[in-house]
Amino acid sequence: MLKYSNIAIIASFFGLWIDSFLSQDLQIYVGFLLIFSFGILHGANDLSLIKNINSQNKAASFWKILIYYVCIVLSGAALFYILPSIALLLFIIVSGYHFGEQHWNTKVQKTPSVSKALFETSYGMLLLFMLFEFHLSQVQLIILDITGTKVPTLLIQNLFFLLLFSTIGLGLFLYFKYKANKESILIELFYLVVFAILFKVSSLIWGFALYFIFWHSIPSIIDQLKFLYGQASVKTFKQYFLSAALYWVISLIGITLLYFLFRDLKLFDALFFSFLASITFPHVLVIEKMFRKEK
């Protein structure tokens, strides 16, 4: 039976092959369709995870954390409205940590939490800036729409190389200081090459969608299935889907309303990223708590 990582590699290169048959507009539509399917779904079951994480005092803890969850969502949306530049920077850092944590959580377990968090954040942000580096002009336009500021090309390029060297340096530190798994490090280095090819050859949305679905969202769902139900199977995925369906549909309705209300305005980009960031911030906290409880 194929390991999931091998399936992800095959799916990624199959996606690149499909890329040659799709127009630029169709890539955007299909890319967003992927993001809105498994991408949104993987974060729609946070409340079930909260119930499981706080199993000792379900009623009180659940409602308390639910209020915190909603407050974080609203605070994220407000921050994007009031201070979009700071909100976008936080979104990139938090998303970078979240991506890195998904890749490395089971591979650097015996290291101190601070060193682990720094490495995971650096690795995840490296992935994002690798994508930015290969699609500089598009990324600069999106940032301009959100913040009203044009980010210099040199700044993005310098941050990319800074993250590259910091990831390598922190990886070597963890390996020699804490004897992190050598095989895992070599495999992840190979994956970085795969991601570089993926981001370089494909368009911005298509490349991100392929990474986000096959390398982040589906692996995250598998981890959540194991945490909630003890195993990842078709049966447990059906349970997961039914549990997440309502929140998933609400998220899709929210995004759809934003699109039809603001699709002809530059404001849509800001609102869209505000929405994604708002639901990302609490999701990252929930997943971090899930991984911590598993240990």
Q: Is the pLDDT of residue 189 over 90?
A: no
- Specify if 49 maps to a domain: no
CB 134 within 8 Å of CB 206:
no
What whole-number distance in Å separates Cα of residue 147 and Cα of residue 84?
A: 5
Q: Which of 130, 122, 131 is nearest to 100 (CA)?
A: 122
What whole-number distance in Å separates Cα of residue 175 and Cα of residue 179?
A: 5
- Rounded mean pLDDT, 109-123: 82
CB 290 within 8 Å of CB 224:
yes
pLDDT digits (tens, 9 = 90+) for 255-283: 777 677 766 655 565 566 667 776 787 78
pTM, two decimal places: 0.87
pLDDT digits (tens, 9 = 90+) for 202-215: 888 899 999 999 99
Tokens 């970085």 belong to 192
Q: What pLDDT is attached to residue 164? A: 93
What whole-number distance in Å separates Cα of residue 84 and Cα of residue 282?
A: 18
What CA–CA distances, in Å, run from 200 to 136, 164, 180, 289? 11, 16, 30, 34
Tokens 């089971």 belong to 106
Give the domain extent around 213: 58-294
Average pLDDT, the chain: 82
Q: What pLDDT is attached to residue 4? A: 80
Angle, helices 84-104/267-294, rounded to nearest 10 degrees: 40
Total of domains in the chain: 1
Q: What pLDDT is attached to residue 84? A: 82
What CA–CA distances, in Å, run from 143 to 88, 157, 210, 211? 8, 15, 22, 21
Q: What pLDDT is attached to residue 1? A: 45
- Specify if 22 maps to a domain: no
- Rounded mean pLDDT, 230-244: 90
What whole-number distance in Å separates Cα of residue 235 and Cα of residue 217?
A: 18
Q: What percent of the chain has pLDDT over 70?
A: 85
Tokens 């911005």 belong to 204
Highest mean pLDDT out of 78-82, 108-112, 203-207: 203-207
